[in-house]
Chain A
Amino acid sequence: MDIVIVGSGKVGFSLAEQLAKEEHNVTVVDSDEEALHRAGDQLDVMTVRGNGVSAATLREAGVDRADLLVAATNADEVNMVCCLTAKDLGAKYTIARIRNPEYTASVAELRRNLKIDMAINPENSTAVEISRLLRFPSAANIETFCRGRVELMGFRLQEGDFLVGSPLYALPDKVKKLSLLFCAVERGGEVSIPNGSFVPKAEDKLYMVGRPDSLDQFFRQLGRYAPKVKQVFLVGGGKVSMYLATILDRMGIRLKIVERSEARCRLISERFPRVTVICGDGTDSELLESENLTASDAFVALTDRDEDNLIISLYAMQQGIKKVITKCNRQNYAGIVRSLGLDSVISPKFVTASNIVHVVRGLQNSQGSVMNSLHRIAGGGAEAMEFTVGPGTKHLGVPLKDLRLRPGVLLAVIVRKNDIIIPEGSSFLQKDDRVIIIARGGGVLDLNDIYGSEPAGGAGA
């Protein structure tokens, strides 16, 4: 697809990187020469220098033939005008980054009037992501499918867990009865898809997918069931904190926010009367201690400096807080961070780029089987996708044992009307099923991509 990205900042760059890797024709527009140079030098993209609201610049970037335009400059207004102009010039689909909380309330009208097909708000998406982690504190990560009927969770095994040391086929019956499947494992930075003979070790990060109540049950059996989070300690009062406070406040969770700027503190206090706002330096351990950090159930580090977030998260973890969530934009060092034990690291630019890549894939195969959602798990090492089986899907009605799937691909769950099926050899696909696919390394764009190259068994209807 021909894609134009306006703005080569954090989100723009990582988006361009993703899309160029997926063989799209990407053109990056920015007025800053240095940012453009970085994109042009490191990625296989074309660069156009100029202002994204100027029609001449957009035309030079080929917007008239573009299938998608993403406006991701740091100014919401520029993004909106850019989308409007691009639509006029002939862009087929437009996405604008709109993140100012003042616009959030009226985003629906804005979208309609400015002909923006989709508005993304990285801070809000990040807040939603964090709130989900807080709702299920036992898991390090959590993704939902089929409107919450299926969940995917990741957790780290510890020495002494009953799973450690015995292969998966020998698990006790009470676990086998549960409606869940171990779908991916991350060991020492390597991601693989486990089979029955896989022997889990301590420090492995296991991902499982299944019914939410089964997952809960499993955590209870593991003795790892953490009670609901009631009190959250939050450092940093930026946009993400504001969105997060809105969500958590509605859920009735008590919040304490530490923020350095007094003006910002006043704003938060004005907006959220029930929240305790502390004006001070969140990286000062004495302040954290005097504010009784240890009494909270969860700790979220949301300052705008990655380094500060990592350090105070490590401190909070050392103080014995069960659930620590860290915002860290730099992905390069994700491996190191994980090895230190910080499992819940959230990167707004990563979240945003994933969301857009998902839309792009949706646009790409709008005729074949429809991809409903896409989540990148295990630090991007694998992807979990939800598809709806369409009439174009191959091998319908053929039992799975007669089919050969591509290596590194797992058919994890079939959702048929109200039933959640963990597939066995005799299971098969039929039209209108929803399926959840786990693929190592990505590359599955269509449901038919899961089949291996050799046709095994009779070709279905």
Chain B
Amino acid sequence: MPLNMDLKAFNQRILPVQGRLFRLAQMFLRNREEAEDAIQDVFLRLWTNRKQLESYQSVEALAVQMTKNLCLDRLKSHHKQKTSNETDMVAMQAADVSPYRQVENSDSAGLMHRLIGELPEQQKLVLHLRDVEEYTLEEIEEVTGLSNANIRTILSRARQKLRENYLKAENYGTGY
């Protein structure tokens, strides 16, 4: 029974953020199944370490960090696999085109998704936390450890870069 109570408390703290973690993972991994798999891993790790959770100020910030790190690790190992197999990157990418990915390339939302994916890691993360999840600057500080001013700069760069690339892709030609 105490174990069950434990689980209930855990669920109450963790489940509300699962949507956020999922979206973050999806942003990094660009694949639904892989994102679900990644956050399941995060939840299981949090669950095994539940005793230590009490000492963290924000479980959400911790969970976001864990998700980010896990996704980056997975991307790295994917990358290694790809290069060690000496497969043509393009061919490889074409091979794992999921239905989602196919849709992605067809409309402007898909284009955005891809362009965000192409941003540098830090810009991607900060942009996602702010513009999709609507985090306050303080919350972003907590997750990234960056300073307030730094976050603003990164955010500004990410937004401009995204716009620039979007215009390029859509052939608008002119600046804003």
Bound pair (A, B) = no
Residues of chain A touching chain B, judged by Cβ–Cβ distance below 8 Å, are none
